[in-house]
Amino acid sequence: MQTTNAPSRPSAARLITIAVLSCVALVWSTPLLWMLVASVKAIPYGSLSAASLLPDGPPTSEHFVDAWIQGSFARWYLNTLIVTLGILVVQLVTIALAGYAFARMEFRGKSLLFHLFLLQLTLAAPILIVPNTMTIVKLGLYDTLAGVMAPYFASAFGVFLMRQTFKTIPRDFEEAAIIDGASLWQLIRLVLVPLARPGLVAFSIVSVTAHWNEFLWPLMVTDTPDNMVLTVGLASFVRSAQHAADWGLIAASTLLVAGPLLIAFALFQRQFVNSFLFTGVK
């Protein structure tokens, strides 16, 4: 609850709220803190002291080295980058085009088509893994990165977002450009894309986050370690390391997978939060 008192006199209620919140936040952050500590802590093999959050002794990089040697992290990073950026580039083109059509044009069946698009919002890809895997096999894309990317090239969610974004751009801008003799290409490059930037950036952040973190679909359609992405590699890692109770290794490899996004978030926090909100609420 928000405080109702003047700032000069913090009430007892406010102090209790702060104390409770701090405790909850501490508990909430414990798994992440443990991951940070455990990834650089020298833990004797099979030791039960793994759960301690306090670092003992100087930090070590052995778990990261182990993880890097035992897994194909260089390959998995590259694959994940190709998949996330590949999906994003194609998506930006398809959603901008379709979003523009829905925002600015009138044509027969527009409303029906729009609802057909929105269907994809709920019938999210994970639920269709069985038929989609068969399609990927038929297309000869099984165990390829293209197969991992293909189902995401169209995004109803992105189209919806771009439609909203284009609607916020005053038509006057476009009209002025046309009166000034701009070609369609110039109109897109100099007027529409710059003005739609907030929408494009927000969508990019959400899309990259989603596909960097995705697991089930890449697991379904890849087979050889060379075609795995980070999350799939991590899962196979966790399963084998779990039996060996090698918690340092698990913590280090988890950090290797989640690290890039966590760092990006720390650097561009406001941008991230705004994007998630922008894309969720609008």
Partner 1 sequence: MSDAVFRDNLALAQPVAPPAARKKRDSSAPTAALLLAPSLLFLALFTYAPILQALTQAFTIEKFGGKFAGYGFGNFQRLFFDAAFQKAFANTFLYGIGTVAPSLVIAVILAAALQESTRFNNLLRTIFFFPTLLPLVAAAALGSFVLMPGAGLLDYYLAQLGAAQTNWLGDPDIALYSIIGLTIWKNAGYYMLFALAGLQGIPSDIHEAAKLDGAGPITRFFRITLPLLMPTLAVIVVIALINVVTQVDHVIVLTGGGPSDSTNVLLNYIFQAAHEQHDIGRGAAATIVSVALLLALSFVSLKTLERGMHYES
Contacting partner 1 within 35-54 (CB under 8 A)? 35, 38, 48, 50-52
Decide: is 6 part of the binding site for partner 1 (CB under 8 A).
no
Residue selected from 19, 235, 240, 244 as contacting partner 1 according to rule CB under 8 A: 235
Decide: is 61 part of the binding site for partner 1 (CB under 8 A).
no
Cα 90 to Cα 100: distance, rounded to the nearest angstrom: 16
Question: Counting beta carbons within 10 angstroms of the beta carbon of residue 184, is it exposed (0 to 12), middle (13 to 18) or buried (19 or more)?
Answer: exposed
Min dist. Cβ of residue 80 to partner 1 (A): 10
Decide: is 203 part of the binding site for partner 1 (CB under 8 A).
no
**Binding map of partner 1 across residues 119-158, x = CB under 8 A, - = no contact:** xxxxxxxxxxxxxxxxx--------------xx-xxxx--
Pick between residue 69 and residue 130 the one whose CB is nearest to partner 1: 130
Residue selected from 23, 216, 226, 240 as contacting partner 1 according to rule CB under 8 A: 216
**Binding map of partner 1 across residues 80-119, x = CB under 8 A, - = no contact:** -------------xxx-xx-xx--xxxxx-x--x-xxxxx
Helix (H, G, I), strand (E, B), or coil: what is residue 140? coil
In order, the DSSP letters of 33-64 are HHHHHHHHS---TT-GGGG--S--SS---HHH
* CB of 39 closer than 8 Å to CB of 252: yes
Contacts with 10 (C-beta within 8 Å, 6 or more apart), sequence order: 3
What number of residues does the chain have? Answer: 282
